[in-house]
Structure 1
Amino acid sequence: MEQELTTISAHRASYERRFRRVVDYLHENLERDLDLNHLAEIACMSPYHWHRIYQSFCGESLAATVKRLRLQRAANLLVKTSDSIEQIAQVCGYSNLQSFTRIFSGVYGMPPARYRKHGSHTQFSVAQAIRSETMFPVQVQEVAPMALVGISHRGNYMGIGQAFDQLVGLAGARQLFGPDSQMIGIYFDDPALVAETELRSIACLSVSAEQQANSQAPFEKHDIKGGAYAVLQYQGPYSDMHAAYQWFFGVWLPASGYEAADVPVFEVYLNNPRDTAPGELKTAIYLALQSA
């Protein structure tokens, strides 16, 4: 019996390694022609079986993952760079500008050029924030301690999606999801003070204490400390969330009468980017407060 369990465990680990290998390849090669048969070769399986296995791990097809990641990268580049629309299309794997414009418009509700000028990020200008202490809803609430398992990420915070894609697939395969599970991102560094390549974050799933104690690599164990937190409710694309942080720390906190505790900020993702339009994504940002 023990030998049988060891064999099953080794077999599961083999599938997980293949899944992680494909996820890493996807995130690191979005500008390439990501032929689904080639991805199956990377997984060392037949395309027929691998596509089904991937979808059961990830909850979406390989084609849907590729589209989601490419458009997320495109939205981020539109907001944060002055690269031409054609350059961004190429970097995101679209050799045809018309095709890129059509697909981007279908998901984000406007073409790329208009999104750059009038997307949701433009409504959160610093000037507007300074004039408004109520731009985002914020509540102060007591948060219970939470046990987490996660996968670490180092680099640009927008790149944490790679760790989340691995987390979702592996946690699903290990049956860690429950009715109260929450997807949580913890961000340890200030991007204004730490080089982008050195930024530390971890993609997490809330679990029971027993599940955490029994978790195995590549999962890491982490805990959220209980206590008072200011919670900002944000709605919109993840690529625009930096404006909410500017307002949270630069406008709300100084006027609130509270002091921030020396605890990393974390985000709770309230809906799923796999089946939610970018403008409808909801995120709760948690800022720990010092006790009185």
Structure 2
Amino acid sequence: MIENTTRLLPTLVYIQTNLAENLSLEAVAQQADMSPFHFHRLFHNSIGETLKQYTMRLRLERAAYELRLREDSILDIALNCGFQSHETFTRAFRRHFERTPRQFRKGNGNRAHLADDSEHGRLLNHMTQTYHLSKVSIQQRTPIQVAFLRHIGDYVNVDMSVYDKLVDWAQTNGAYTGRNLIIGVGHDSPDITPVEKLRFDACLEVFEQIRPFSPIGYQIIPGGTFGIADYTGPFGPTMYQAYIDIFTQLAQQKNIEIIGLPVIEIYHTTKINPDYALNHVEICVPVKKVVS
């Protein structure tokens, strides 16, 4: 992560859960208990974007993702992502993606990361390991409180040793029971978000609210309705193919609308071992039941 970013983790969590709300400099600085001037300087120096640039990018990326998956009107998607009008949204979207929302939806967006000549495509073409994926089932999940460490960058480069750091922290602070769920949360689509800006949270379940202590943050992973499948296999490129299979299964289900993000991975183990070939992971994709 960029230096000092961890100091802003509570604010980043607030932003990601309130994208449709007022995220002006004054409002977010007040939430962070800082003056607008000092907050602006800290945020820009730490994140590499101004608050306005950061929130605009997240809103546009969420909108692009929803345009790909949902049949809602463009106006409804714009409003859901924090834009005040169709015109404002269309201008901002075109500047960012170099096409209108309608063109993006019609062309199914920029799918370069899924093409055979993409980095992921090359990895898939050279895979020798296999995996097993169960049939997707629709289930309800309750919210989960977690301590977390954030990774910024390509998902395939997540250093799984961060989970050891979380467990060490929990043991030192009396938060480890041996029953804590070990979780990964992917907030962005690699088909839409630049790879260097992808957000992944390595999480350890906690059973009461904790005070964020750099570099460890606190958040509540939202509950709700999920399409859930059990994956058994190695970490890495095969999981990318498993996600394609899961989304394909969900797209074929009636009365289900894919929300898609954030994706939650629950690791059924007491220790993450990236070299182990038979990892058991419960992959949870947010969905919504639709009444026909």
TM-score, length of structure 2 as denominator length: 0.51
Structure 1 residue 167 and structure 2 residue 166: aligned?
Answer: yes
Q: Is the CA contact 1:236–1:281 (under 8 Å) kept in the aligned structure 2?
A: yes
Change over 3 Å in CA distance of 1:197–1:276 after alignment to 2? closer
Change over 3 Å in CA distance of 1:158–1:275 after alignment to 2? closer
Change over 3 Å in CA distance of 1:243–1:269 after alignment to 2? same
Aligned residues: 169
| AA partner of residue 276 (structure 2) | P
Shift of residue 285, structure 1, vs aligned partner: 0.6
- The residue aligned with 1:176 is 175
Q: Is the CA contact 1:152–1:163 (under 8 Å) kept in the aligned structure 2?
A: no
Q: Separation in 1 of the partners of 2:168 and 2:200?
A: 19
Unpaired segments of 5 or more residues in structure 1? 1-75, 83-115, 125-134
Shift of residue 272, structure 1, vs aligned partner: 4.4
Change over 3 Å in CA distance of 1:233–1:172 after alignment to 2? same
Unpaired segments of 5 or more residues in structure 2? 1-118
Instruction: Say which SS state the counterpart of residue 180 (structure 2) adopts.
Output: coil
Q: Separation in 1 of the partners of 2:250 and 2:202?
A: 26
- The residue aligned with 2:226 is 229
Shift of residue 291, structure 1, vs aligned partner: 4.3
Change over 3 Å in CA distance of 1:156–1:117 after alignment to 2? closer
Structure 1 residue 202 and structure 2 residue 201: aligned?
Answer: yes
For residues 37-89 of structure 1, the C-alpha deviation after alignment (integer angstroms, 9 at most, x for no partner) is: xxxxxxxxxxxxxxxxxxxxxxxxxxxxxxxxxxxxxxx99x7299xxxxxxx
Structure 1 residue 80 and structure 2 residue 123: aligned?
Answer: yes
- The residue aligned with 1:244 is 242
Among candidates 126, 132, 141, match of residue 139 of structure 2: 141
Q: Is the CA contact 1:267–1:285 (under 8 Å) kept in the aligned structure 2?
A: yes
Matches within 5 A, 1:4-153: 80=123, 116=126, 118-120=128-130, 136-153=134-151
Q: CA RMSD in A?
A: 2.9
Structure 1 residue 288 and structure 2 residue 286: aligned?
Answer: yes
User: Could you list the runs of 4 or more consecutive aligned residues of structure 1 that deviate by over 4 angstroms after TM superposition?
Assistant: 272-277
| AA partner of residue 250 (structure 2) | L
Change over 3 Å in CA distance of 1:143–1:170 after alignment to 2? same
Q: Separation in 1 of the partners of 2:214 and 2:166?
A: 11
Q: Is the CA contact 2:178–2:270 (under 8 Å) kept in the aligned structure 1?
A: no
Pair member with larger Rg: 1
Instruction: Say which SS state the counterpart of residue 180 (structure 1) adopts.
Output: coil
- The residue aligned with 2:10 is none
Identical counterparts, % of pairs: 23
Whose helix proportion is higher, 1 or 2?
A: 1
Instruction: Say which SS state the counterpart of residue 222 (structure 1) adopts.
Output: strand
Deviates more, 1:223-232 or 1:160-169: 160-169
Shift of residue 167, structure 1, vs aligned partner: 2.0
Q: Separation in 2 of the partners of 1:190 and 1:149?
A: 23
| AA partner of residue 128 (structure 2) | H
For residues 152-190 of structure 1, the C-alpha deviation after alignment (integer angstroms, 9 at most, x for no partner) is: 110111222253343233223323212431011110111
Shift of residue 262, structure 1, vs aligned partner: 6.0
Shift of residue 201, structure 1, vs aligned partner: 0.9
Instruction: Say which SS state the counterpart of residue 256 (structure 1) adopts.
Output: coil
Q: Is the CA contact 1:183–1:268 (under 8 Å) kept in the aligned structure 2?
A: yes
Shift of residue 267, structure 1, vs aligned partner: 0.3
Q: Separation in 2 of the partners of 1:208 and 1:228?
A: 22
Structure 1 residue 191 and structure 2 residue 190: aligned?
Answer: yes
Change over 3 Å in CA distance of 1:174–1:279 after alignment to 2? same
